[in-house]
Amino acid sequence: MCLAIPSKIVKIENNMGIIDVDGVQRQASLLLLEDPKVGEYVIVHAGFAIKKIDEEAAMETLKVLREALAFAEKSEPAG
Amino acid sequence: MTIKHADEYRDPEISRKIVEQINNLSKKKIRLMEVCGTHTMSIFRNGIRKLIPDTISLLSGPGCPVCVTAQNEIDAFIEISGKPDTIITTFGDLMRVPGTGSSLQKERAKGKDIRIIYSTFDAIEIARKNPDKRVIFLGVGFETTAPTVAASILSARDMKIDNYFVYSAHKTVPRALFALMKTEGIKIDGFILPGHVSVIIGTGAYLPFFNRFKMPCVVAGFEPSDILQAILMLAEQIENKSPELKNAYTRAVSFKGNEKAIRIMNDVFEQADVAWRGIGVIPGSGLKIRDEFSNFDAGKKFEIISKDSKEPKGCACGEILTGLKTPVECPLYKKICTPVEPVGPCMVSSEGTCAAYYKYHNGD
């Protein structure tokens, strides 16, 4: 089962990280990441951080989705 | 505190607009298959089947690792739990999967030491604290899980822990796509490719498959707007007759994937021909432990006689996993096979298609 919600790295000690998901903290191994840093958001699977979230891509996708939303609203007939 | 990027991708307004675009665009009757148990769950939980037009059917493919695990592997797990001086460690969804004569849960009730863990590091810790026991991890999962298991073997080696073993029943997704396309009677117009398998292997890993079949493919995330976006992209490709391999989950998935995780996975495992429930043997689709790490290989350490197990009689898991049947077409579904008394693994795992149907499908 994949947990889709990104977690924030709040502490790093010997390749183990403390990660925070919406206020709940737990341990995750950082062995599968290149150069993890405190403050970065990661995807966690079975106790391992498996990927840093690409912030730029995340914002870009949202922008595209929101633009589509704004465009669709503008094209809707009033009332 | 908001949950990073989850709220936004759950925005019902964004989802509603994507659905409108799908409605406007979709003319042909098409069948899309998701190959990821978490997509299956998300599609049902968010009512996505009801949101999209009747022209689009969603099928659940072989995306639930426990479900595709062959019966002889399940029997091997149960057999191994009977070896003396062992502690079996596993993720929870394997516990209730019925083997030919028993299940891990039933074995535990009989007194076997079988423990549910959250991460392979818990298994290492159990091994460290129990030097007089042999601690075995039952490795079931795709490319998302395999690197975490590989990392545990490397750590055990570094920590000089010699009582930790892995029974590897890991499988890889792209090879299964090839096999699906060759399954008789299969009708698929496009694939929603898995999210976190793709985090590891990258979209590039699907190129050989895409180049061979020119089948529309989109990698998707797990939030409602992620999945709807992938459906929209697939519908567009199919309507325009322009198949592409696309990524709708760019915040987590790159072309090359997680190269460090791939390296660790390949250091420990090598390809093997293995059987999938419902599909049969797929060349090169399994991950076995390399000879270099055979000291950690439970398959080599313990003699296992379960080789020729038959799948449960009447169970349609195999056809359901390949999209040839839906759970309601299985004669056992809801009659003999329920989440309380499951016959096949698709009813056991929370990611299984039958379990999802049982929970969310209202017969329409």
Cβ-based contacts of B6 with chain A (< 8 Å) = 4-6
| Domain extent at residue A38 | 7-75
Give the model's pLDDT for residue A1. Answer: 57
State the total domains in chain A.
1
**pLDDT tops 50 at residue B226:** yes
Give the model's pLDDT for residue B78. Answer: 96
DSSP letter (8 states) at residue B351: T
Q: Check if A22 contacts B (Cβ < 8 Å).
A: yes
Answer whether A45 sits within 8 Å of B350, measured CB to CB.
no
Q: Is residue A35 part of a domain?
A: yes
**pLDDT tops 80 at residue B75:** yes
Answer whether B144 sits within 8 Å of A2, measured CB to CB.
yes
Listing DSSP states for B66-112 in one string gives HHHB-HHHHHHHHHHTTSTTEEEEE-GGGTT---SS--HHHHHHTT-
Answer whether B251 sits within 8 Å of A34, measured CB to CB.
no
Q: pLDDT tens per residue, chain A (79 residues)?
A: 566 678 889 999 999 999 998 788 999 999 999 999 999 999 999 999 999 988 777 777 667 767 766 655 554 444 4
Q: Residue B29: count other Cβ atoms within 10 Å of its Cβ.
A: 11
Of residues A50, A55, A72, nearest to B144 (C-beta):
A50
**Looking at residue A27, which CATH number applies to its domain?**
2.30.30.140
DSSP letter (8 states) at residue B310: P
Tell me the mean pLDDT in the region B337-347. Answer: 93
Answer whether A46 sits within 8 Å of B118, measured CB to CB.
yes
Give the model's pLDDT for residue B259. Answer: 98
Amino acid making up residue B261: A
Give the model's pLDDT for residue A7. Answer: 87
Q: Check if B17 contacts A (Cβ < 8 Å).
A: yes
* Residue matched to tokens 């341990």: A27
* Alpha-carbon torsion (B344, B350, B354, B359), positive or negative: positive
Q: At CA B286, angle to CA B282 and CA B291, rounded to 5?
A: 135
Supply the Cα-derived Rg of chain A in whole angstroms: 17
Give the model's pLDDT for residue B304. Answer: 87
Give the model's pLDDT for residue A71. Answer: 58
Nearest to B224 by CA among B47, B26, B62: B47
Residue B288, strand partner residues:
B270
- B101, B71 in Cβ contact below 8 A? no
Q: Check if A47 contacts B (Cβ < 8 Å).
A: yes
Answer whether B18 sits within 8 Å of A68, measured CB to CB.
yes
Structure tokens at A70: 């704004």
Of residues A5, A31, A53, nearest to B251 (C-beta):
A53
- B256, B201 in Cβ contact below 8 A? no
Q: Check if A67 contacts B (Cβ < 8 Å).
A: no
Q: Is residue A2 part of a domain?
A: no
The rounded distance, in Å, linking the Cα atoms of B317 and B57 is 19
Helix (H) or strand (E) holding B339: none
Interface of B with A in 36-75 (CB under 8 A): 36-38, 41-42
Nearest to B275 by CA among B68, B96, B20, B47: B68
**CATH code of the domain occupying B70-171+257-301:** 3.40.50.11740
Look at B328 and A73; give whichever has higher pLDDT: B328
The rounded distance, in Å, linking the Cα atoms of B150 and B165 is 11
Give the model's pLDDT for residue B2. Answer: 43
- pLDDT-derived band at B128 (thresholds 50, 70, 90) equals very high
Give the strand order in the sheet containing B134-139. B114-116, B86-90, B134-139, B164-168
- B236, B274 in Cβ contact below 8 A? no
Q: Check if B223 contacts A (Cβ < 8 Å).
A: yes
Interface of B with A in 146-205 (CB under 8 A): 147-148, 151, 155, 195-196, 199-200
Q: Residue B352: count other Cβ atoms within 10 Å of its Cβ.
A: 30
- Rounded to a whole number of angstroms, the distance between the first and last alpha carbons of chain A is 44
ipTM, interface predicted TM-score of the complex: 0.89
Q: Check if B93 contacts A (Cβ < 8 Å).
A: yes
Decide the pairing of beta strands A41-45 and A48-52.
Answer: antiparallel
The rounded distance, in Å, linking the Cα atoms of B126 and B121 is 9
